[in-house]
A and B are shown apart, each in its own frame.
Chain A
Amino acid sequence: MTDQGIKSRPIYATLRRDSSGRRHLYVSAGSGPPPDALAQDGLESWTVAPTTCEGTLPRPEGVGERRFRSTRYLMETLGRRLAGERMGLRLYVEGPEDFLWDVYGVAQAHGLGRQEIFLKQSGTLARRVQCVHCKTFNEGVTTTIVRCAGCGANLFVRDHFSRRLSAFQGVKIDAEQPGDVPQAERAYP
């Protein structure tokens, strides 16, 4: 069920430092340290405090570290930061898939090319699912079928992924025979 044979899914490599860059920025949806392969002098590291912090902001421990209360806060700060950047920045991104492509979108909007951005999936496999019928985004979907929060349709989560929307496509599973909805399976923990 998790491999539907659809070829629009991204494949991710491990993060390595790109020596052609002059400045290196690591942004993560988690709170852990950057991978060793990146952690050399001059790496900036942006992380998000876990929700157990309940809005408090733990102090950064090292030089170049910065912490955020939420991924949303990080994303907005990143947009302002990239607006003033020059050539030579390398961006390393780690987190769930929707976070990766949200960051990618922000970076692209500010002129970073795809050779200057490196993505690594980690954390939850839960998916953002866009209902193709009503366009509502359903966040954090862990099951093969989800009831759309917008229109109420029972959506099958297709493996078809849009990097632009950072979302998978949801299609009404019982469109042909209304009411014929199989049991949802937990597939994206």
Chain B
Amino acid sequence: MGIQFRKDERFRENFSYVNSDAGVLRFPFPFGEDRYMYSVNIEPHIPGGPTPAFAHAFDIDEHYIAECQERAMVLADDPGRCQVLPHMMPAQWDTLELLMESLAADYPEHFSLDKDGDTWRWINRPLGIDQSFVFGRPETLPCAPFEYITRQAQGDFTLQDQRDDNLFVDGGMVTTQADWSLDFDIGMSFHEWHGPVPLAHETGVFDRALRFLLRLQYGHPVRRLNWTMTINPRLDTSPENYPDWGPDRTTVTPENVAEKVHLRVELQTLFRLPRSNAILFGIRCYLLSLKDIERVEKWRKRLHRVLTTLPPELAEYKGLTRYRDTIIAHLAPHDDGAELSPGIQPDQTVLPPA
């Protein structure tokens, strides 16, 4: 049986966003320990692990259709959210091929790909797409290949060109981002686009991560989790629109904290691409309300401990300063200090009623 896609979800004004119980339990909770600090927490992106979100190269869930619609709305307002520098055309086709082949293999009931030489037929049933085209010929698609396929995927994507022993962010589809601007950062080297991140430069995290990624091999993708928090289930927390969503951060009260505050997790995946030697970086965003997190005993206790011990620079960078204490006060009565199992898995298979 296929995924039951939710219709009529909204990730902006008049928010409408719900996770099923299975959706809550498959959430990639980012804290394997009671304290959080930056690290190069990269592991092989192989199927399996503590969350079903790791089961496939590109995770599709019940929000797929709604997220593709949200992306289309962002692009209609701001086409600059998708940009690729001209020398990256081979990487565009690499991305299209990787996504189409992965989705068709992992979700055959929803996607299929038939090849007859360079003539391909792509069927996306959830979105009602049936497209024949010639691989390598952009004019046979409705738009450029990178934009075409990433409009049909959940999460953001960037393309990293590798040259001069460095990586350059030379393209991307960025509509569900945690406050960074592709339009400003495009063309930057690895350390430049990570420039604003506090604390991590001094500990050498970015030096080590870059060295690791320069050696990334085709066929051996890797993944890591990153996180922040977002008020309301808003996907587009771009710096461009910060004047519109920034005031949300002042609206959190003890009464509404459980509904308003969402843990925002990025499942970050990195794939070496075969023809271009570029790296495709997937940034798949998951939102879970504090109310739903609380239904998992381990997660609510651990989140309380992580927030209590989070360095102030990180809280500031992640934009939590105005409401962190409200969350901690809400969670504290439900944390008895008992030892928790290592790792991110929920340690329960059913949830109490919402």
Contacts and interface: CB of A to CB of B under 8 A. Distances in A.
Interface of A: 5-9, 114, 130, 132-133, 135, 153, 158-165, 169, 171-172, 175-178
Given A8-B196, A9-B195, A133 B188 contact: no
Contacts of A133: 239-243
Nearest to B201: A7
Contacts of A114: 164
User: 9 shortest A-B CB distances, which residue pairs?
Assistant: A8-B195, A175-B246, A8-B192, A164-B187, A176-B246, A7-B195, A132-B239, A6-B195, A175-B242
Interface stretch (B92-100, B177-185, B304-312): B177-185
Given A172-B246, A175-B243, A5 B198 contact: yes
Nearest to A175: B246
A159 B196 CA distance: 8
Contacts of A130: 184
A16 to B, nearest CB: 21
A132 B174 CA distance: 15
B187 A163 contact: yes
- Chain B contact-residue range equals 20 to 34
B34 to A, nearest CB: 27
A160 B243 contact: no
A169 B193 contact: no
A163 B188 CA distance: 8
Given A7-B201, A171-B239, A175-B243, A162 B184 contact: yes
Nearest to A178: B247
A114 B165 CA distance: 13
A168 to B, nearest CB: 10
B250 interface: yes
Given A7-B191, A7-B194, A162-B188, A171 B250 contact: no
B242 A171 contact: yes
Interface string B225-263: 000000000000001111100110110000000000000
B186 interface: yes
Contact of B196 (A6, A153, A162, A164): A6
A135 B192 contact: no
Nearest to A134: B240
Nearest to B241: A133
B38 to A, nearest CB: 14
B186 A164 contact: yes
10 contacts: A8-B188, A132-B242, A133-B242, A159-B195, A161-B192, A162-B185, A163-B192, A172-B243, A175-B242, A176-B250
A82 B181 CA distance: 32
Contacts of A7: 191-192, 194-195, 201
Residue among B187, B196, B240 having the largest count of chain A Cβ atoms under 10 Å: B196
A160 B196 CA distance: 7
